[in-house]
Amino acid sequence: MNFQNLKSIEEYKFFIDVAFRKANEKASIIRGSKNLKGTRIEKSKKMELLKIDVIREEISTRLLGILKTFPSLEQLPEFYNELIKCTLDYPVLKKSLGALNWANKKVVEMHRKYLIKIKKCMDMNKINDYRREYYGRISSIMRQIKDALKYLETARKTMRNYPAIKTGTRTIAIAGFPNVGKTTLLMRLTGSKPDIQPYAFTTKGINVGYIKGKQKLQLLDTPGTLNRFDKMNNIEKVAFLALKLLAEKIIYVFDLTEPYPLEKQVELYKRVNEMKKPVIIYLSKTDILDKEDVNEFKKEFKAKTLEEIKSIL
């Protein structure tokens, strides 16, 4: 999924101002055209009908454009659906999208209603009254969705920073405390610099790398310490959801130089194991460790070397 293409959403007055201005501009062009023929009232009706057409098209196009660029919540992969639920107000998001759909239907309905009224009318003053009524109705419809537009802009800013993870690709997650060598392992396994996916909620990011073979394999460097879900920050929630919903296997990285106490690393390893997924253990920074300590650890935890992990994947 790629949410970076979501475009900014203006406030409701913007939609009204642009639509009314374009309607007047189109009418001015037609007014000065030699193709505008007929009696005074026929010309007036043509002008007002044109304005109504332009306003309907302008507002409908913009509203439908927003609805089309936002993903269908019911059709999103489970990972992104859960991500939305823990970073946004899901019911308000659905209600806001529904409000735009309602507004579009009402704009189309008003267009059809006043089109008929003006076509049948033969009174100049009444035609002008209908036009003012139509403008007022359209303004009222857009005013009723002002909060929905504001919330969708808030949601857009959040969603634009979701990591671009390919949910349909076989995925291996690399877990462990920060600064234990997860990104280095990712680089060694993929043979290239990983794609660092920025995530605005913290200064950290999701690192994504790929192994190309008969079947593409996606590797995720997942930050976080797996506290209780309600105590996690948003980047930790992303990591948890990736481990739970995307990973078919997990590589857990230990660092015996202990940037974090070993007992804490073991505790985290046990929490990872609770996910009931195959876990491969890797020991980082072995070149600066005592060989005896390395061998003892590998024997106890059945840790794998880089080459062994490559063959397993």
What pLDDT is stored for residue 136 in this prediction?
A: 97
Cα distances (angstroms) measured from residue 309 to each of 55, 82, 160: 61, 30, 34
What pLDDT is stored for residue 86 in this prediction?
A: 86
Alpha helix stretches (DSSP H) within 70-177: 78-87, 90-120, 124-144, 146-159
Amino acid (one-letter) located at 155: A
What pLDDT is stored for residue 232 in this prediction?
A: 75
Q: Which of 293, 292, 268 is nearest to 279 (CA)?
A: 268
Beta strands (DSSP E) in 118-254 are 170-175, 195-198, 205-211, 217-221, 247-254
Render pLDDT for 99-136 as a digit per residue (tens, 0 to 9): 999 999 999 999 999 999 999 998 989 999 999 999 99
- 170-312: same fold as 12-159? no
What pLDDT is stored for residue 227 in this prediction?
A: 64
DSSP label at residue 214: S
Q: Domain 170-312, what fold?
A: Rossmann fold (3.40.50)
Using CB atoms within 10 Å of the CB of residue 90, give its burial: 0 to 12 exposed, 13 to 18 middle, 19+ buried: middle
Q: Is 38 left (phi over 0), alpha (psi -120 to 50) or beta?
A: left
What pLDDT is stored for residue 204 in this prediction?
A: 55
Using CB atoms within 10 Å of the CB of residue 127, give its burial: 0 to 12 exposed, 13 to 18 middle, 19+ buried: buried
Q: Which residues pair with 195 in a beta bridge?
A: 208
Which CATH number among 1.10.10.10, 1.20.120.1190, 3.40.50.300, 2.40.100.10 corresponds to the domain 12-159? 1.20.120.1190
What pLDDT is stored for residue 34 in this prediction?
A: 65
What is the value of pTM for the model shown?
0.82
Q: Say what percent of the chain tops pLDDT 70.
A: 92
Question: Can you spell out the DSSP letters for 18-54?
Answer: HHHHHHHHHHHHHHT-TT--S-HHHHHHHHHHHHHHH
Render pLDDT for 130-155 as a digit per residue (tens, 0 to 9): 999 999 999 999 999 999 999 999 99
Q: Which of 70, 272, 62 is nearest to 162 (CA)?
A: 70
Both structure tokens of 219: 């590797």
What pLDDT is stored for residue 197 in this prediction?
A: 52
Q: Which residues of the chain have pLDDT under 70?
A: 1, 32-34, 194-205, 224-230
What pLDDT is stored for residue 11 in this prediction?
A: 97
Render pLDDT for 62-87 as a digit per residue (tens, 0 to 9): 999 999 999 888 899 999 999 999 88
Please state the domain extents for the chain.
12-159, 170-312
What pLDDT is stored for residue 283 in this prediction?
A: 95
